[in-house]
Each structure stands twice: as C-alpha cells, then as structure tokens.
Amino acid sequence: MQNDNILEMIKIDKVFPGVKALDQVDFMVKRGEVHCLIGANGAGKSTLMKILSGAYKEDGGKIIFDGKQLSWHGTEARRKEGISVIYQELSLFSELTVGENVYINHYPKKGGKIDWKKVYEDTQKLADSLNIRINAKARIADLNIGQRQLTEIMKAIACNAKLIVMDEPSSTLSKNEFQILVQVIQDLKAKGITIIYISHHLEELFLVGDRITVLRDGRFVTCKGTHELDENTLVEYMTGVTMSQGQQEERKLHKVSDEVVLELKDLCNHKVNHVSFQLHKGEVLGLYGLVGSGRTEILQSIFGVVPPSSGEIYLHGKPVTFKCTKDAIQNGIGLAPESRKTQGLVLPLPVWENMSMVALRKFRIGGKLHYKRIFEECNSYKGRLRIKTPDVHTIAGNLSGGNQQKIILAKWMMKDCDILLLDEPTQGIDVAAKAEIYKLIGEMTQMGKSVIVVSSELEELLRICDNIHVMYDGEQVIQVNRAEFSSDYILHASVVGKPSAQAVN
Ligand SMILES: Nc1ncnc2c1ncn2[C@@H]1O[C@H](COP(=O)(O)OP(=O)(O)OP(=O)(O)O)[C@@H](O)[C@H]1O
Ligand SMILES: [Mg+2]
C-alpha cells in the first residue's frame, strides 16, 4: 500500500565530476520500520542519505516524506520536517553538556531567558524514557563514543524526528555499546519512529532490521524482508558475484619465528600501565579490549606520537626512544591510524599522492621520481582493495568513507615497513574488501614483516592473529596464543578485567 510508506525516494540521480553516484535509485521506507541500507564502499549509501537530509540537492527524481513532496531548502528545513541524520563523524560540541547539546537548536525559554532547569529535566526525562544511562549535565568530552552516539539520538528526538538515519553507527562502538544501541533502536521503534540503518556488519542487520535495501554502483539492486535473506545472499547482491566456498581463509597455525623484532618492557604512558610484550618476525599480534582500554595509546607510544612516561621499547634488541613519528618511520615502523579524516589522509590531495607519500624513496631512481612506477603500484592497490575511484588522480576527500580507509592501508602497505601498526584497519570497510585486506596482511607476514592490529572486532583478530593480548582500563589482562584462542575467554577478560576461572594459565 502506498500510504504506509513514510518515505519514498523515487528515481534519484546524483552526479559528481567523473562519478555517477546515484542512478535512478528508488528507496521506499515504511512507517515505523528499521530499514537497513547496504552496499559496498562507494555504492552511494551516504550520498542518498545526504540527499535525504538536504545536505546535497538531487540532480533528478523526487522525495515524498510523510505524504508531502519535499523541495530543497537545505538541512535545517529537512530537520523541521522530522528528518534527522546521525553521521559517523558526530557533530556534538565537546565542551558543552549533554543537555546543552540535545536542545541546542531550540532551548526552552522562560521570561526571555533560557530555562536551564527545564533543559536538564527534559534531557534526563528523555534519557530515562529510552533507558539511556547518561547524566544530562555531563560534558560531552567526558563521555565515551557510545554515550556520544546516544546523545545524538536524543538530540534527534528532541527535534521531534519522525525518521532517524544512522550512517554506520556501530563502526566505533564496542560490543556492549552496540547492545545498548540495539535496545534504544527497539525503544525508538516502539515510539513509532522510523529508522534507516547503515552498516557493513551484516550480522547486525539481522538483529535490528525489518527490511534491507541493497545498492550497487549507485543503482538499486533489491529490497527484501530480513527474514528472506542470509549473509551470503546479501554479499551476492552487494558484489554481483557468487561467493565461492573457501573464501574464508583462516590463518594457519604456523610457527612464528623466534626472532624478536620489537619488545615493550613495562611501558607506561598517560593511559597504559606496565605493558610488556614481544613481537616476533612474521607475527600478527592483536590488541583487543573495549574502546578506551588503552590499545591505541600503546601503538602511539611505539610510533613516537605519545612519549612513554616510563618503561622501554627495544627494536631488534636495541633500546630506542622515538621523539617523533619520523624517527619511527625511519626505523621501519608504520602506523595506519583509526581516524582517517584527521590523521591518516591529506584530503585535498589526489589518491596517488596520499598512497605514495611515505614510500616515495622507493620510487626514486637516480634522483628522480619514477612516476610510471608510482602510478602502476597505486593502480595495483586500487584493484586489489577494490578502491572505487575513477582513477588515482581523484581527490581523496571526494571518495566515500570506506574507500578513504583503503587508501590509508594501501599507503602503509606500499611503504614496506618491517613493523606495521594497524588501528581498526577494517572499520567501515565492506565485506569483500575485508577478505582482501586479511589476505594482504597474511602475505606481508610471509615476507617476514610483523603486524600489530588493534580491533574491536574479535572475529577479525581470531581470524588473522597469532597472539592476542587483552587490555582493560590501561592494564594488560591476558595473552592468548592461536592454539588456545577462545572467544568467550577473551571477551570475558575484556569486559571484566581479569581472566575467567577456566583460564588455562
Ligand atoms: N563530494 C563528492 N565529490 C565527488 N565524488 C563524491 C562525493 N561524495 C561522494 N562521491 C562519490 O560518490 C560515490 C558514492 O559515495 P558514497 O559516499 O555515497 O558511498 P557509500 O556507499 O556511503 O560508501 P562507504 O561504505 O564507503 O561509506 C563514490 O564513488 C564517491 O567517490
Ligand atoms: Mg558512507
């Protein structure tokens, strides 16, 4: 029936220079449902949502929301219609409180002044009604990512949103925070609010979604009920390729060399306490733990970003102190950081410059840069990692989120570092490209390189690591080697902060 749709986006077109981002896309959402929107990196999901939110104007097609055809007057007008979009890069003011952020567009007033008492009371009521445990007076800067996300959701509801779009809400959330998000989504649904949910974690779609729309290369592929689909079929719709058996490559139980390439002894910094471990040649070492448990800060101390307050770092048996990242890079260490927009890429530069900037030395022949070889290698990574870009001369800032992440990885893989530090390497990356990244990591270790991976996805670490160290609140809790991997044991340690009784050692 026509009128059970709260949203109808009909034959939407959007062209960017050199890219047809959306080509006659139809997207129909029923009132009160959780509708998942999926597709590989660069498929057009965020663009479609930016058109819905009013951030972009469509080149063709029409949008009917709540029975009314919308014309384009920017994001504020769409918010007033009841459409709120929560982007992955959250837009809260970190120095303000939760309450100040939630009502920022429309503070309740009394006698011409902002009624602060009401701001905080209403915020707290809103939080309680959604079973969100958050203090209305807390400063955003003091909250974790999950709580910030929930604040964004409250802000959307305070604006009377009828439809809330969540663009990859879970990519920065820990398992626990995700559980809370799932509950909040159920509560929103019970209030009659419609949700559009974007994620690359296919298993999540089956937990939260009623229906799924798949986009591929800017085109509508299918829209089906969640119960009619399974993960393999979804991947086929997304990629257009039937998944062959055996694509799930497991890291073999291989003997890691005895040669220690990196050792931390009692390393402390502002976030972590007495961390010690050895990294061997050809080893993939995983750091697991909740967001904020100190994993990133360990990488930062190794890479010379955050100086250790005490303890030692040994590289090939010799103590080292890196004053800056350049020192670390010169010693054969690379770090692909977690926040790509601010740390990993120079957005106004083209793809090839971003990819090759730390590896230029290897392309220098007789004092001159060998551009042909640079472009060849960039193109080879473009192919392997399925980077969706017209060519390597495109400006990196114009690529989709997941494709930017792939460029960062390519950049450090190209550098030929002996030790590569990867912080959440597959965050926001589609399933097909993930498999390729795991394969590349495997190949690097076969060539004698060593890798440390920080990830919030335990599945990922179980698949690619030789050893996993679990962190909790800055402390090292347990170390498990591949032969003893157990997801329950590792999860327990990461949440509770100590090994469970079943501990083997
Ligand atoms: N501002 C822009 N300028 C030029 N091209 C753009 C711009 N924004 C998006 N594109 C291109 O449009 C296509 C769709 O991008 P979009 O961000 O919608 O993908 P996505 O499905 O959200 O991908 P991801 O899963 O990586 O977030 C991509 O090829 C991208 O490079
Ligand atoms: Mg996107």
**In this predicted structure, what is the pLDDT of residue 89?**
66
Q: What is the residue-level pLDDT of the chain in tens, covering all 505 positions?
A: 446 999 999 999 999 988 899 999 999 999 999 999 999 999 999 999 999 999 999 999 999 999 999 999 999 999 999 999 987 666 889 999 999 999 998 899 999 999 999 999 999 999 988 888 899 999 998 887 778 888 998 998 888 899 999 998 777 677 777 888 899 899 999 989 999 999 998 989 999 999 999 999 999 999 999 999 999 899 899 988 775 544 445 556 566 789 999 999 999 999 999 999 999 999 999 999 987 789 999 999 999 999 999 999 999 999 999 999 999 999 999 998 876 556 678 889 999 999 999 898 889 988 899 999 999 999 999 998 889 999 999 999 999 888 988 898 889 888 889 999 999 898 888 888 888 889 889 988 988 999 999 998 898 999 999 999 999 999 999 999 998 999 889 988 988 888 887 544 4
Angstrom distance (rounded) from CA 183 to CA 164: 15
Q: Which CATH number fits domain 28-56+73-82+162-245: 3.40.50.300, 3.30.1370.60, 3.60.9.10, 3.40.50.1370?
A: 3.40.50.300
Helix (H/G/I), strand (E/B), else coil: 74: helix
Phi and psi of 371, rounded to 5°?
-60, -35
Helix (H/G/I), strand (E/B), else coil: 504: coil
Angstrom distance (rounded) from CA 287 to CA 451: 11
- Ligand 1 centroid–CA 389 distance in Å is 9
CATH 3.40.1500.10 for domain 260-496: no
- Ligand 1 centroid–CA 43 distance in Å is 7
Q: Which of 20, 27, 47, 196 has most ligand 1 atoms within 8 Å of CB, for mutation?
A: 47
**In this predicted structure, what is the pLDDT of residue 366?**
86
**In this predicted structure, what is the pLDDT of residue 124?**
94
Q: Please list, residue by residue across 401-429, b when 16 or more beta carbons sit within 10 angstroms of its beta carbon and e when fewer do.
A: bbbbbbbbbbbbbbbbbbbbbbbbbbbbb
The end-to-end CA distance of the chain, in Å, is 61
- Which ligand 1 atom is the nearest neighbour of the CA of 45? 21
Look up residue 92 and give its amino acid: L
CATH topology match: 28-56+73-82+162-245 vs 260-496: yes
**In this predicted structure, what is the pLDDT of residue 379?**
96
For the chain, how are helix, strand and coil distributed in percent, rounded to 5?
Answer: 35, 25, 35
Pick the residue whose CA is nearest to atom 1 on ligand 1: 398
**Bridge partner list, 315:** 262, 318
Tokens of 21: 């981002």
Pick the residue whose CA is nearest to atom 5 on ligand 1: 398
Whether ligand 1 lies within 6 angstroms of the CB of 399 is answered as: yes
The H-assigned helical ranges of 399-500 are: 401-414, 431-446, 458-464, 487-496
**290 near 474, Cβ under 8 Å?**
no
Angstrom distance (rounded) from CA 379 to CA 242: 25
Domain ranges of the chain: 28-56+73-82+162-245, 91-160, 260-496
- Ligand 2 centroid–CA 43 distance in Å is 8
E-strand ranges in 57-152 read 60-65, 68-69, 83-86, 109-110, 113-114
Q: Enumerate residues 6+ apart whose C-beta is below 8 A from 238.
A: 38, 39, 40, 43, 214, 216, 221, 430, 431, 432
Tokens of 380: 């080879």
Pick the residue whose CA is nearest to atom 28 on ligand 1: 42
Q: Which of 49, 398, 408, 437 has most ligand 1 atoms within 8 Å of CB, for mutation?
A: 398
Q: Enumerate residues 6+ apart whose C-beta is below 8 A from 302.
A: 262, 264, 313, 322, 328, 333, 335, 419, 421, 452
Smallest CA-to-CA distance from 354 within 305, 389, 306 is with 389
CB atoms within 10 A of CB 76: 9
Packed helices 231-239 and 431-446: angle between N→C axes, nearest 10 degrees:
90
- Which ligand 1 atom is the nearest neighbour of the CA of 430? 25
Whether ligand 1 lies within 6 angstroms of the CB of 199 is answered as: no
- Ligand 2 centroid–CA 286 distance in Å is 27
Pick the residue whose CA is nearest to atom 31 on ligand 1: 399
Q: No. of H helices and E strands in the chain?
A: 16, 24
